[in-house]
Amino acid sequence: AQSVAQPEDQVNVAEGNPLTVKCTYSVSGNPYLFWYVQYPNRGLQFLLKYITGDNLVKGSYGFEAEFNKSQTSFHLKKPSALVSDSALYFCAVRDGPGSARQLTFGSGTQLTVLP
Amino acid sequence: EAQVTQNPRYLITVTGKKLTVTCSQNMNHEYMSWYRQDPGLGLRQIYYSMNVEVTDKGDVPEGYKVSRKEKRNFPLILESPSPNQTSLYFCASSSRQGANTGELFFGEGSRLTVL
């Protein structure tokens, strides 16, 4: 069985400071990992993914995520937060190759960037 | 513009009154799916379709029906809605390749309230 956990419901950070949104996962094989962002009254948008290769993955809007196999984590990061980054962020995981049907989403983390 | 369009965006109905939420995509995607989003639970998959006339249950299919008669459309049908189906619903689509890598395009959501 696969699962994903986002331990923080809410993250607050000051504009210009670095931000981290945490995600841990559990799979039996090799994980496929994803981050999606949901702006108010909008659908989810794909940010980035890790399938294989470099542990540091770069995505849209200056976001990046670091895959750490030993800690089973895939934390989302950005060096300098913007107020416009305020949104709901979802981590998702799949146990190896397959289809999007098999994605498991976390419960989401609300990021608020304070001016 | 590439998009996934859901209608209605907002709906208040009463228990037992059949309703349909439509979903249409203009990207010629093979894969389509419905999710519901509830606070603290993230996104849970209701039904998905790998192609025309091919549909299958997701994690929470009870009380829902779908059909895929055309490639672009994937309506979600609630034959007899109940209050526990009050939720925010998202339709998503993907190409065959995108489905294999987990990159989904989401609609803007339909907020349903069942009284």
Q: For A64-98, what is each residue's pLDDT tens digit?
A: 999 999 999 999 999 999 999 999 999 999 887 77
Dihedral sign, CA of B12, B15, B19, B23? positive
Q: What is the mean pLDDT of residues B24-44?
A: 93
Average pLDDT over all residues of chain A: 92
* pLDDT confidence of residue B27: 94
What residues of chain B lie within 8 A of the CB of A49, using their CB? Answer: 101-103
What is the pLDDT at residue A99? 67
Which residues, listed in sequence order, are joined to residue A65 by a DSSP beta bridge?
A57, A76
Q: How far apart are CA A107 and CA A3, in angstroms?
A: 11
Tell me if chain A has a CB within 8 Å of the CB of B42: yes
pLDDT of B96: 83
DSSP SS3 for B31:
strand
Q: What is the pLDDT of residue B97?
A: 80
B27–chain A Cβ distance below 8 A for any pair: no
Which pair of tokens denotes residue B93?
Answer: 């689509």
Cα of first residue to Cα of last residue in chain B, in angstroms, is 36
Q: Name the residue of chain B whose CA is nearest to A97's CA.
A: B100
Q: Which residues of B touch A95 (CB under 8 A)?
A: none
**Two structure tokens written together for A69:** 């196999």
What are the tens digits of pLDDT across the range A16-45? Answer: 999 999 999 999 888 999 999 999 888 899
Sort out which chain B residues have CB atoms less than 8 A from A5's CB and list them: none
> How does DSSP classify residue A102?
G
> Chain A closest CA to B102's CA: distance in Å?
5
- The span from the CA of B20 to the CA of B76, in Å, is 6
